[in-house]
Structure 1
């Protein structure tokens, strides 16, 4: 049943992933036996471990016990729903509680369903299948709306949403957030000389090369606008961001796309501006973008085909 559902959504999609959270290992193993042939099953025996797994593994659905010793299921649900990185994960409560007010409270926190103990394999399978189908279909529609139609990578809307989410996360954890803004050198003259169809193909090829060089699931490359791209690097200091920017410049140079009208090379090159901040009350997301823009301006004025860095030490004091 489940395989047909998931195969119908996308022949290339990874197996759906669920997280089972229960302080009783016997319940976790029972649910694992139900789904192990069709789904990837993650397991946690505490609320704290569940929160960590949700952030690092991004499951498609969470089956969450209500009564646990360190954090109740309600506490875990509340934490997941207040974090932008995890708030869209559907949560099904697993409980022996039977009072209507308990279910109402769970739904108010953001749960999508309740499964009562003792566990019925048929009921669990049916309800999980229903909510996974809805989640994966929603993800597919959302992905279409957040994808640049020409290059196939993330669009400006997804960039804006992701940057806001990562800013909040890095502010909470007091970790550095780096941003790289990249611009294709002399792209107007490329379009004028080779034509707009070749220009579009050039941008597609560059986009795929940039995306290929982003390794961590939390990093993001997006089309920023026109011939500009942007790369978000959470928990990355200025040295790490500089190294990544150099890798991106080399990746584009290694494409060897002919550019006879360039004033810096005989092939397509890019310039990059890098900025790093540790988000706090004395700065803002606009400061980070402004610094990256300034760095890009300096890279272009300095001769293009290079990286310029502006980090938090160069920000005006407040």
Structure 2
């Protein structure tokens, strides 16, 4: 797999360097290999990464304000950022400084003055490793049957988004979906037909969720979950209702349901700044909304509202 990764043109390298000349030199060396952006300080670098994580960071050791070493430690301490490889660029490569680089969590270091070929080869190698890691993670986070994200990834992503949205004082909506009378469907039509129904429901959910940061997960069995960052009560309920209506529109026969076709019920909860103390509570409220949708007759969405 490593040798097959040749095109790195869409990979992003962030240069953290307070010298405009050095920024230009590093950028020129990497021109044609990958995308490059640059910031002048460690503080800017952390803010940049929180908004749009790069694939690799080239970090100057000495910066005005926070040092590159301190920034590296901060980035490594953040769950949402600690998979970004950091290469230090420093004029001092003595043994003690190398030890400090490794202890801070860096993957490599480059000495100044910059040797263009060494820079390109080091960056290419670490970008390939990062791409390979991302691909392996992607495979391990997908449900093999439905081809949506799995429960393992939901648990990780939900916690990450909850912290991120809390920090940015934004909303995070959770939608829990459950196929109505699915056990009866399997008993009547068999598990192969049941698998086909699961795949069709997953496709519909993905189609109804349009924004790049919105995501669909197989939560377990016949239950799915949807994460909608920065989404209001009305917006989340509208998306949940669109999934409910679209699944009914598939018209998959279900003779053991009062609707005669496969349907889903949905529970919606929206975590607003200061409302929920933890992500587990938010998920629990979405589950309560799902219970209410079932109790009210199924084939519908219910918004759990703290107000």
Query: TM-score, with normalisation over the residues of structure 2?
Result: 0.89
1:163 is displaced (CA, Å) by 1.4
- Is 1:72 the counterpart of 2:70? The answer is no
Counterparts of residues 286-297 of structure 1 (less than 5 Å): 286-297=280-291
From 126, 134, 143, the counterpart of 2:138: 143
Q: Which deviations, in whole Å up to 9, do the C-alpha atoms of 1:129-174 show, x marking residues without a partner? A: 2222222222222222221121111111111111122222233334
- Is 1:271 the counterpart of 2:260? The answer is no
- In the other structure, the counterpart of 2:227 is 232
Instruction: Count residues with an aligned counterpart.
Output: 307
From 54, 58, 69, the counterpart of 1:63: 58
Structure 1 gap segments, 5+ residues each = 314-318
Runs of 4+ in 1 over 4 A off after TM superposition: 279-282
Q: Report the secondary structure of 1:18's partner residue.
A: strand
Contact 2:9/2:35 (CA < 8 Å) preserved in 1? no
Q: Report the secondary structure of 1:290's partner residue.
A: helix
Contact 2:237/2:303 (CA < 8 Å) preserved in 1? yes
Counterparts of residues 222-261 of structure 1 (less than 5 Å): 222-254=217-249, 256-261=250-255
From 79, 88, 92, the counterpart of 2:87: 92
- In the other structure, the counterpart of 1:162 is 157
Contact 1:185/1:262 (CA < 8 Å) preserved in 2? no
Q: Report the secondary structure of 1:202's partner residue.
A: helix
Q: What is the distance in 2 between the residues matched to 1:267 and 1:41? A: 52
Q: Report the secondary structure of 2:297's partner residue.
A: coil
Q: Report the secondary structure of 2:293's partner residue.
A: helix
RMSD: 2.6
Counterparts of residues 91-130 of structure 1 (less than 5 Å): 91-130=86-125
Q: Report the secondary structure of 1:224's partner residue.
A: strand
Q: What is the distance in 2 between the residues matched to 1:214 and 1:282? A: 24
Contact 1:167/1:279 (CA < 8 Å) preserved in 2? no
Q: What is the distance in 1 between the residues matched to 2:246 and 2:9? A: 27
- In the other structure, the counterpart of 1:316 is none
Contact 1:180/1:241 (CA < 8 Å) preserved in 2? yes
Question: Using a 3 Å threshold, how does the CA distance of structure 1 residues 82 and 247 change in structure 2: closer, same or farther?
Answer: farther
1:10 is displaced (CA, Å) by 8.8
